[in-house]
Amino acid sequence: MIHILPAILFVVLGLAQFVKRIRAQRPWVHRWIGRIVIALGILIGITGIIMGFTIPVSGVSETTAITFFGIFFLFALLKGFVHIRNHQTALHREWMIRAFAVGMAVTTTRPIVGVFFATSSLTGLGPRDFFGSALWIGFTLHLIVAEVWINRTRPQ
């Protein structure tokens, strides 16, 4: 629950950070929500990494994916925070998009796991066989989408 409940709040508040009207008309709300999102992100990043080592479903593949993307997630949060403290808004935006993309990736992993389950009678694969792969696919897809979005919406 220390991971799941903050993650739900992270998703809801993180989505609010992308509402242009909030950023433009009430920047103080954006700042306070941002502080909460970063604190929640640190908590879910650390607990996610711990869970990857203590209760992995599919062993090394899962632990490696969670550790790699968990560290990247925490790094992106830190970079986003440092950039806004240095008044580098464009870089802050890019790193926070990356962090949010990784934070949201677990939501995409669930349908990917569903596809693996649906095809398990054909492939013979069980959760121990495919859960790590589903994480790698979900996290990677989210980062690709984030980079495309960053590059297409980057101010000229």
pLDDT band at 156 (very low <50, low <70, confident <90, very high): confident
Predicted confidence at residue 41, as pLDDT, reads 96
Percent above pLDDT 70 for the chain: 100
44 phi and psi angles, rounded to 5 deg:
-75, -30
- In a 3-state reduction of DSSP, which class is residue 1? coil
Q: pLDDT tens digits for 79-88? A: 999 999 999 9
Q: Residue 21 above 90 pLDDT?
A: yes
Q: How far apart are CA 37 and CA 9, in angstroms?
A: 8
Predicted confidence at residue 111, as pLDDT, reads 93
CA 76 to mean position of chain CA atoms: 10
pLDDT band at 56 (very low <50, low <70, confident <90, very high): confident
For residues 8-32, give the mean pLDDT: 93
Q: How long, in residues, is the chain?
A: 156
Q: pLDDT tens digits for 115-155? A: 998 999 999 888 888 899 999 999 999 999 999 999 999 98
- In a 3-state reduction of DSSP, which class is residue 92? helix
Q: How far apart are CA 29 and CA 23, in angstroms?
A: 8
The angle formed by the CA atoms of residues 31, 36 and 37, to the nearest 5 degrees, is 95
Least confident of 6-10, 32-36, 37-41: 6-10
pLDDT band at 91 (very low <50, low <70, confident <90, very high): very high
Residue with tokens 């700042």: 31
Q: How far apart are CA 15 and CA 103, in angstroms?
A: 11
* Prediction pTM value: 0.91
- Let me know if 75 is exposed, middle or buried by CB neighbors in 10 A (0-12, 13-18, 19+): middle
- In a 3-state reduction of DSSP, which class is residue 33? helix
- Let me know if 90 is exposed, middle or buried by CB neighbors in 10 A (0-12, 13-18, 19+): exposed
